[in-house]
Structure formats: structure tokens, C-alpha cells
Structure 1
Amino acid sequence: MTRYLILGMGVAGIAAAEAIRSTAPGAEILLLSDDPFGYYSRPGLAYYLTGEMAEKQLFPFTIGDFHKLHSRYVQGRATAIFRGERQIEVDGKNRISYDRLLIAVGARALPLTVPGAHLEGVLKLDHMGDARQILQASRRAKHAAVVGGGITALELAEGLLSQRVKTTYLLRGDRYWSSVLDEQESLIVEERLREQGVELIRRAELLEAFGRRGRVEGIRLLDGRALRCDLLAYAIGIQPRVELARDAGLAVDKGILVNECLQTNDPDIFAAGDAAQAYDPLTGRSIIDSLWNPAREQGRVAGLNMAGKKTAYLKSVPFNVTRLAGLTTTIIGAIGRGGRDEDLVGIARGDSETFRSLPDAILAQSGFDVNHLRLMIGRKTLLGALVMGDQTLSMPLQKMIADGADITPIRSRLLARDTRIADVVAEFWKEWSKTPAAA
């Protein structure tokens, strides 16, 4: 009997187990994870902090779902891979053999490295245990400071505020998430945060945390300013867990390098999810895609290939739905600086517009309200979109961008100064969706 060993019990690992079971009904599947909570929705942790989701709602699998997998779960941490023997070491002691191995161990939150980062009350949001710790700490906290520039930092600020903790959000630059949002979009988010009661401090670089008796009591900024706080939450980025693969002699860059079949340079070892740097045949580049849906698809494709059903992983157009200061926001396309879903440029909905040229596209921006649309227009196709508020056009835009819809008939209208961009897109979608190209 073939033994499939999966390291990691996130969405990639579970998707791989499902794919293996669907292809190899009689195979032995083992899942190894050092997370005591097993499989749960990490994107849901933000809603857990705000009280919008109960803890039990974070667990998408029932006992029946696990029974259908006919798999065995082992709690522990893989500490070494012995490729020659096709074995892994667990917790530095026992060994488990495998025929096919999947590394789906994800990524970890980057640690805070300033003096005082070790103090009690300095917290991150990386997994379920962290969320529980934040909720527990917020019961006695009076004033929290939040450090970080992306979605997770904002989720921390909103979560703490919802727990009735006075919250100050430190922005390192001049505005929120400048690598993704344009100035108008940043302003929308910042104004909504202020309305909710979050204090914003711009151009704030953390120098150190200080405290007494081992507990944080405040922070000091690079410019000398000091802020009293009894809770410091941070989200400053993530780092793929590649140490296990590197120590085993597998090819590693920023992530574990895999081909279009999610296979490493060892034919019996595969990688998927946040730890994997997958080859994209469409662009010829290897990329890390740290989103839930790509991780699930990578896990599925890896599982199929492990079970002998050759399948290529094709990176889809990034489609990320999040919430920024209570405003549903969908990001489609990886078209900004750095080429990731975090980096966007666009054409926005409103009355006044300005133009600037890019090498292969034209960018137009306009005024905004709580329903805001920004599009990136190429020569013949839409290259990306950001939709805030009203999500009516999100799925149509995703389809149009993914399928490379020829927007030549409406391109000039989209770039006209008095155009209601959303109306033009809606009209085009109504007709284009009926054509064979949209099938």
C-alpha cells in the first residue's frame, strides 16, 4: 500500500488529502501538524477577533468529513527529512516513512525585532492560539498600539477596537497600504477607521517597546515620541517555512521551488501553499502565492500528481476578497509594483479624472464614494481591478480579466472624462457574457 505523508494541516494539506483519496481509494494518508487546533480557517481569525464568528465556525470540517478521508492525523513537528531512507523525523525523535511526501507547512509571521519585543503583551496574529491570546489580553488591556501596513494589521486594529480597547494604529509611511491602494482609497479606509474610533499616527517608526516587571507599558518611536500602551500588536509580513526543505537539500529560493506539477527536485517530494514557490508556465517565473484559494488549488494539484494523475498547476488571475475598515474590497489581478496581488494601479469611478501613461497600459483615476471602482486598462484587455463597497461587478470583472475579454469596443468610453465607468462595464458585461468567448 502506498503511503502519502502530508506535512501541514492547512487548506493545501487538506486539499491534497482529498485529491489523493479521490484518485487512490486504497492509499494510506497521514497528516502531520504541530498546530494543536488542526484544520481551521485562518482568514476567519479576523472575524473571530471582532466577535462576528464563533470559534466553532472557524472549523470547516466535521468529524464526518475527516472520516471520508480515511486518513490518520499525527500531532508533532517534522524536524528532518531523510530523503535516502524516505523518512521524516518527528520532534527530533521518532521517524515516519513515506512513499510520497507533501510539504505544506505554510508561512510564519515575521518576528518583531526591536528591543522589548519579548515583553508580555507584545502579540501577533498568526494562528488560532494567537487569536485566543489576543482576546484574553484585550479583556484587561486599556490601550493598544498596532504596527504594520497591510490587511492583517488593519484586522488587528479593528479586532482590538471591537473588544473595547482604545486603539492607536501606527502607519510607517504617509498613508495606509500605499503599495496597494491609491491616495483616494487610502483616504477612504483612514476616514472610516477614524469614524470607528481608531487613532492614526503617520510616519511612525517603532524604535522600541518598554515595560516593567516583564510586561509592556509603552513604545518609543524613532523620532523620540513615546506612547503609553499595555498591548502591542504587530503584523509586519510573513516568511515561508523553508528550513526543513533546505536542510534536506531541496531547491529553495524564497520558497520551496517546485515545477508545474508542484514537484520539488526530489521526484517523491512535493510542496504546496505558502511554503511553495511554484513555476508558472504562462510567465516563465516561479512565484509565491500566499492566498487561500491558490493554496487550496496547489494542494489539489499536488495531491493528484502524488497519486499519479499528472496535472499542471496554472496560476489563475488573483482574486482576493477582504474587508478594509468594514468595507468589502475585492482585488483582481497582480498588476502593481512587485507583480503581486498586493500591488495595484487603476481607473476609478467618479467625476474628475487625471491620466498618466504606463508602458503597456493607460491609467485613469477619478473621485470616489463608498462604492469605488478602479480598473487597469491595457491596449485590448482589462489587466486588473479593485472594487470597494458594491460588489455587483466583482465576478464579471474577474471573468473578463481571466478570459482576456477584448474591450476595444468600450476602451475609448472608459477613458472619456465624463464616463460612469461602472455603467460602461455593466453594459459591456451584459452583452459580452452572451458571446462564445465568455463560455
Structure 2
Amino acid sequence: MTAPARTDRGSEELIRAEEPVLAHNYHPLPVVVARAGGAWVEDVEGRRYLDMLAGYSALNFGHRHPALIEAAHRQLDRLTLTSRAFHNDRLAGFAERLAALTGTDMVLPMNTGAEAVESGIKVARKWAYDVKGVPADRATIVVAADNFHGRTTTIVSFSTDETARSGFGPFTPGFRIVPYNDLAAMEAAVDETTAAVLIEPIQGEAGVLIPDDGYLAGVRELTRRKGCLFVADEIQSGLGRTGHTLAVQHESVVPDVVLLGKALGGGIVPVSAVVGSREVLGVLRPGEHGSTFGGNPLAAAVGTAVVELLETGAFQRRAAELGAVLREGLAALVGKGVVGFRARGLWAGVDVDPALGSGREISERLMREGVLVKDTHGSTIRLAPPLTVTAEELTGALGTLEKVLTS
């Protein structure tokens, strides 16, 4: 790890300094990270922690992966932004390789995951009016309860999380919410006005909820039969996390549209994209959608380097192999403070006995033992280490979890 910018303030003082000047929209763990490399971070006092969250999958390739840092440095010396008013020499190559990696035709580059979701919603509605023939302003989109697609005003309009939703109305109409993992309920909600079904192949924020085998294939069959789009939000689940490039590939499913983000920027710059068929993304015309920074040369250079890492298949295989280690280790903890878990690849939601503490309390205890995780609802914690983590580091973290739960 390289030395950070000098500061004479310690963790407690820096945390106190944030209080009056930062909006209180987050409740971070009380650790102040100053430097990082691979699967490890170090705070301002020099304490080291194993990062078992990886920026909610934004750091799939670890902190400061050498190939990604090199790509960013090279591009910083050449060109960083033109806006889409002009072409740049990095965007076409990025789009071509990302489309090939995901088995799609076209790419709409954006910046953040929420922007990708918003863009996917707009594209689906435009397709419904121009191609399907839905009457103007009547398009609907079917979504799943307990979803997490972002926190913009439109997205929280179809959230069932009152913390994210309450106090931010009036809400955007045009969405129908059905239970996750319930094909019958989904079919009942789809009608001639339905532009798309928008779901996460695995619900991350809800606690890494994995649907039954056949659910994703059933969504694909239903949307084809009913004449609407299948839009898969792979912002957290995609790009190697679950042992495949995309989580839908566990059921050999090809959606009409896939939403990507987080790991696409390699933990360096925000990069997101909507990828899909030419029939769908081809409905957009100049002026109908855009982004000043979307597809900028720096983002395209880093994104291309990310695609190059995934083209080898090594990270997907690593996630699958180490995922077996993760599942085995968690299974051994059931009855030792763990009451249940769900895991796919290097991603797990772990339900802790509520008598031992909330997810937040367990996360704080792990932090004090040198392991960083984050809680979700109730007494559930999420594990999503960088795909560069070693088997030894992974088993060490599970040993620390056992210590925290049984001591």
C-alpha cells in the first residue's frame, strides 16, 4: 500500500469533523480508511482490516488492481472528458467488448447504477410505445417487492422499504409490485400495458435472496409469451460476483436488457451501462436521453480494462471455487450463532441469531477484530469479498465470525 495524504487527525477526530458538514444520509461503521490494496484496507492509525464488503461489489477486482490503475493512469495523461457532443477514441472499443462479453448488440453508457436503472425504465417505456403499441402514457412496469434498484425519486416510487420511501412523495406512477420468486403473481400483474418486468436475479439489499431454480427461466418464458421485456438488474450480482459473468447465466437465461454498474468502474470511476438487443436500445434517438459524463474516455478506458479481466474467465472461476469454500464455512457455523444463510459465488447473506445482536452490532464486533462487513435488515449481514481474496483470507474471516458469535 502507498502512503496516504498526510493528516494529523485520528479516526475519532475525523469522524467528529464529518458530523456538522456532511448530510446524514449514511451511518458508516466507525473506521476511517486511508489506504488500500487487494482485499485489505488500512485506517489512519495503521490498523489493517480484511474488506469483506468490496464496496457492495464495486470492488470485485480488489482495491487498486494493477491493470485497472495502469489503464486509468495512461488515460489521465491523454484525455478525460469530451462530453458526447464529440466522439472519443476509447468509447467504441469499450462498447464493442462489453457487448461481446454480455452477448448483446448495443450499449448505452451511463455513470451510476441508479442512472442505469432510470435509463432502463425510459428505454422500456419508449419500446412499449414505439414497438409494442401501448397507448401514450399508459405503460406499466412490473417489479418485485423488497427490491433495491437505487434511491432516485422514480426508483423509490416502487420500493417497499419505508426508510428509502417515506417522506419523498409524490411518487411516480406506472409500477406494479408483486412478491419476489412468485411467477403466478407476476403473470397476474402483466397485461397489454406492460412494457417490462424489472427484477434483480438475486436480491442483494434484501439479504442476498436467491430465487428458486427455474424462476429466472420462468420470467424469461413469461415475458416472451406476454410480449414484454425482461430487464435484469445485475448491478450488484453481475461481472463475476456469482461465478458467472451474469447471475442470469446460472439458468442460461438471456434477458432483453441488462443493467450494469458498480464493478464496471473497477472501484476507480463511476461507470454503468444498459446493454441489450438492437430492437430495444435502437428506439432511442438523439436528444431523447443523455449524460455529460456517460461514456467519457477515462470511464471507457477503465471499463475496457475491466472487460479484459473478465474475458479470461479467471475471476468467474475464482468466484465459483471460493464460493464453495464460503458455503462450507458458513454451513459449519449454523448452530453456532448462524441460524441460516444464502450464498451464490462469493456473495452471502448470513442470518445471525437475534439474541446475539443486531446486524449492526455484529458488524461492529467484526470490525474490532479486523474484518469489515455491513449489515442489512435485522440481524443479517452481507459478505461480498473482492474476487481476489484468497482461500486463507476467506477462512480466516469465517473464523473471526465464529469467534465473534461464540465468545
Which structure shows the higher strand fraction?
1
TM over 0.5: no
Sort the TM-score into its range (normalised by shorter chain): under 0.3
Which structure shows the higher helix fraction?
2
Could you tell me the TM-score, scaled by structure 1's length?
Answer: 0.24
Could you tell me the TM-score, scaled by structure 2's length?
Answer: 0.26
Larger C-alpha radius of gyration, 1 or 2? Answer: 1
Structure having greater relative contact order (Cα 8 Å, sep ≥ 6): 2
